[in-house]
Amino acid sequence: MRRDIRITDIRITPIAFRDGPLLNAAGIHEPWALRAILEFETSDGRIGISETYGDAPMLAVLAQARPVIVGLSPFDLNVMEERVRATVRPVAGAVEFTLAPGSHSAKNAAKVISAFEVAMLDLQGQIVGAPVVDLLGGAVRDRVPYSAYLFFKYAEHHGKPYAPDAWGEGLSPAQIVEQARRMIGLYGFRSIKLKGGVFEPAHEIACIRALSEAFPGMPLRLDPNANWSLQTSIAAAPELDELLEYYEDPTPGLEGMAELARHTRLPLATNMVVTTFDEFRRGVALGSVKVVLSDHHYWGGLRATRELARMCEVWGLGISMHSNSHLGISLMAMTHVAASVSNLGYACDTHYPWQEEEVIAGGRVAFDEGAVRLPASPGLGVQLDREALARLHEQYLACGVRQRDDLAQMRKYQPDFAGTSPRF
Ligand SMILES: O=C([O-])C(=O)C[C@H](O)[C@@H](O)C(=O)[O-]
Ligand SMILES: [Mg+2]
């Protein structure tokens, strides 16, 4: 009987992989990005997998919830949710990383539920012989489009911990166009996002203009991660009007975005001001945004993402997906849920092109004209490469990073870097 299958063990392995010197509103990426890989083992010898944040506070809350899930059936998603909500507690001394809503401790239960849900859905799929998307109601598309996610960047990390990446420096408009050409050449993306909030807005707008000239008709987005004041965001809007598909989180707060919305015809998008269902309700009342960038890692999983998509449909908002540095297991989870959402209106974000290392068997996930094809095999459709897992875990042990801190990393380059926000 399927219901007799039980979760007998949960392994949580923190890993570190090389990440580029990518600039953002907070500072700069460290040389090592952290993730946690979860393996749920069952009484009939299956392994369900999942990928989530690997910062120390996240590892602590995953460990808190782990014992109350062992013994459940992989089909007990609702009981799992109840038990996680009753168990997960804030971690003392946890530092929040403001650019990544996933690092906020208020989202601890949702983050753990998401990580557990994905592994349990992977198991369910294996047990019934169906891909995860079928457990979410089935696919409305067989390939999920992603966008070229450009970053301003240095050529090398501070201290040169390893050989430089192949992307080179990305600071000037010409270098950003070159970065886009390379990324589109390799992956075939059909829309472009530029991570902003790094340089003076005039420079970032010049980069967007250069991209628009180099790639006529290509949908473009700019995301200053709330590093522009309301005044700056309002002033920049007319210049961006004809250039952008949407204007992502230029300025902080639900109220700030609502005020900006009254001054621009550009659709405003967010992964910063609408990150919970409570913020969704307040954002709708204020008219803060037109597009919600969901992320199953902190919204509470694949099913919660579908609920969010339904709410967006009801309230006339667009939906797409946000990402943080991630590997192929997260990419496949995103792909399954995105393939099930009929109102997905934009190509999803992914940091995947910036990651050279992988933890899944068979190498990197393939992109076809900027899209990831849904696998037909049961569950998530990807398996762990155990040697790679062991190697990336060794890197975690050796790298010394335990919690993402882009500001401290930036101060290695510029000791007087204030990191105040909004900076412009
Ligand atoms: O769309 C976003 O806001 C992000 O992806 C936030 C991330 O933290 C991004 O800025 C990064 O990785 O530097
Ligand atoms: Mg964003």
What's residue 202's pLDDT?
A: 98
Q: Which ligand is nearest to the CA of 101?
A: 1
Q: Which residue owns the Cα nearest ligand 1 atom 9?
A: 324
Residues 6+ apart with CB under 8 A from 333: 50, 51, 118, 132, 296, 302, 380
What's residue 100's pLDDT?
A: 72
What angle in degrees, to the nearest 10, is found between the helix axes of 302-314 and 277-286? 20
What's residue 168's pLDDT?
A: 98
What's residue 175's pLDDT?
A: 99
| Ligand 1 nearest-atom number relative to CA 225 | 3
137-373 and 2-133+386-399 share a CATH fold: no
Q: What values do phi and psi take at 17, rounded to 5?
A: -135, 160
- pLDDT tens-digit series, residues 56-82: 999 999 999 999 999 999 999 999 999
Q: Is the pLDDT of residue 46 over 80?
A: yes
Residues 6+ apart with CB under 8 A from 67: none
Query: What number is the average pLDDT over the span 257-284?
Result: 97
Distance from Cα 124 to the centre of ligand 1, integer Å: 31
Distance from Cα 100 to the centre of ligand 1, integer Å: 6
pLDDT more than 90, % of the chain: 95
For ligand 1, whether the C-beta of 335 sits within 6 Å is no
pLDDT more than 70, % of the chain: 100
CATH code at 2-133+386-399: 3.30.390.10
Mutate to test the pocket of ligand 1, among 17, 19, 24, 193 (most ligand atoms within 8 A of CB): 24
Are 326 and 149 a contacting pair, CB within 8 Å? no
- pLDDT tens-digit series, residues 131-145: 999 999 999 999 999
What's residue 237's pLDDT?
A: 98
Distance from Cα 102 to the centre of ligand 1, integer Å: 11
What's residue 335's pLDDT?
A: 98
Residue 10's DSSP bridge partners are 40
Are 416 and 93 a contacting pair, CB within 8 Å? no
Query: What number is the average pLDDT over the span 202-207?
Result: 98
Place of tokens 């500001």: 407
* Residue 82 in tokens: 């109840």
Average pLDDT, the chain: 96
Active site residues per annotation = 195, 322
Nearest to 293 by CA among 348, 220, 372, 221: 348
| Ligand 1 nearest-atom number relative to CA 249 | 3
CATH of the structural domain 137-373, one choice from 3.30.2130.10, 3.20.20.120, 3.40.50.720, 3.10.20.30: 3.20.20.120
For ligand 1, whether the C-beta of 99 sits within 6 Å is yes
Are 410 and 417 a contacting pair, CB within 8 Å? yes
Q: What is the length of the chain?
A: 424
C-alpha 198/C-alpha 201 separation (Å) is 8
What's residue 253's pLDDT?
A: 97
C-alpha 63/C-alpha 118 separation (Å) is 17
C-alpha 350/C-alpha 327 separation (Å) is 10
Are 120 and 84 a contacting pair, CB within 8 Å? no
Residues 6+ apart with CB under 8 A from 421: 25, 26, 98, 226, 227, 252
- pLDDT tens-digit series, residues 187-196: 999 999 999 9
What's residue 103's pLDDT?
A: 74
What's residue 299's pLDDT?
A: 97
Q: Which residue owns the Cα nearest ligand 1 atom 13?
A: 24
What's residue 1's pLDDT?
A: 65
For ligand 1, whether the C-beta of 290 sits within 6 Å is no
Q: What values do phi and psi take at 317, rounded to 5?
A: -100, 150
Distance from Cα 40 to the centre of ligand 2, integer Å: 31
Distance from Cα 316 to the centre of ligand 1, integer Å: 25
Q: Is the pLDDT of residue 239 over 80?
A: yes
What's residue 400's pLDDT?
A: 96
Q: How many CB atoms lie within 10 A of CB 209?
A: 16
Distance from Cα 98 to the centre of ligand 1, integer Å: 10
Q: Which ligand is nearest to the CA of 149?
A: 1
For ligand 1, whether the C-beta of 19 sits within 6 Å is no
| Ligand 1 nearest-atom number relative to CA 195 | 10
Name the strands in the sheet holding 7-18, side by side, starting at the edge strand that comes first in the sequence: 7-18, 32-42, 47-53
Q: Which ligand is nearest to the CA of 20?
A: 1
- pLDDT tens-digit series, residues 76-110: 999 999 999 999 987 777 777 778 777 788 899 99
| Ligand 1 nearest-atom number relative to CA 322 | 1
**Domain locations in the chain?**
2-133+386-399, 137-373
C-alpha 187/C-alpha 133 separation (Å) is 23
